[in-house]
Amino acid sequence: SYISLTEALIHAGVRTRTRVKIQFVEATDVEKHGTSLLDGVDAILVPGGFGERGIEGKIQAIQYARENRIPYLGICLGMQLAIIEYAPDVANLHGAHSTEFNRAAPHPVIALISEWQDEKGTTEQRTEKSEMGGTMRLGAQEVRLSHGSRSHQIYGPDVIQERHRHRYEFNNRYLQKMMNAGLRFSGFSRDGLVEMIELPTHPFFVASQFHPEFRSPPRDGHPLSTGLVRAARDYHASHLPAAPSA
């Protein structure tokens, strides 16, 4: 089910002339056996998904990447869980979670947004009683990047188009608190929904609400997956054993 992600990483390897070795790790195994399963990796990617299975394992993997300064790319749910991991541990929002998984969360940093604009500027609406397919933010939509951010540096243009497939969004009520705690919000939709986050103090910690793998050209790779592979290569090189002195 993650073939598009696998292909996007291979495309990034072609672009950067890097042999990409992909290791699939079950999030439920991380829950059972801990983050030692991730020892030796040069980057971590948490993809999109639905349902509660493996959520805590994914959060543990994100924390492992953040605290050990391992390159991290979060996609869709991977962005939401990065926020959920950061909120209690750094922003002191204890009990922060998504209403998708915990309706009674004291700090619903991820929630079902009832209204947004599509790429044509038409207002779309949804409720918890709406059918899932009818409540998704779908298709290519405009993303506006913040000047000076890593995301802007990775892409280049001020405005990009990326494809979406999700229901839940970051709750902008917590925007200032999370910013005060050091999280940077580097991309927004035309109506102010969060599209990208990053950690300025981390070598490469970037996450998107959209799905970059859906727009990955085979020869050039997508900017985000290419950025991750470059960061992984740098991380790997920095952890090689020192050459013996002559």
Q: Would you please indicate which residues are annotated as catalytic (active-site) residues?
A: 76, 211, 213
Which residues are paired to 48 by β-bridges?
Answer: none
- Read off the tokens for 57: 């394992």
Q: How far apart are CA 16 and CA 20, in angstroms?
A: 10
Helical spans, DSSP H, in the chain = 3-16, 27-33, 55-67, 77-89, 150-155, 175-180, 223-238
Phi-psi region of 192 (alpha: psi -120 to 50; beta: other; left: phi over 0): left
CA dist list (Å): 218 to 1, 69, 155, 214: 19, 29, 17, 11
CA nearest 76: which of 181, 13, 154, 5? Answer: 5
* Helix pair angle (3-16, 223-238), 10° resolution: 70
Is the CB of residue 112 less than 8 Å from the CB of residue 100? yes
- One-letter amino acid at 173 equals R
- Rg of the chain (C-alpha set): 18
Phi-psi region of 70 (alpha: psi -120 to 50; beta: other; left: phi over 0): beta
Which residues are paired to 45 by β-bridges?
Answer: 73
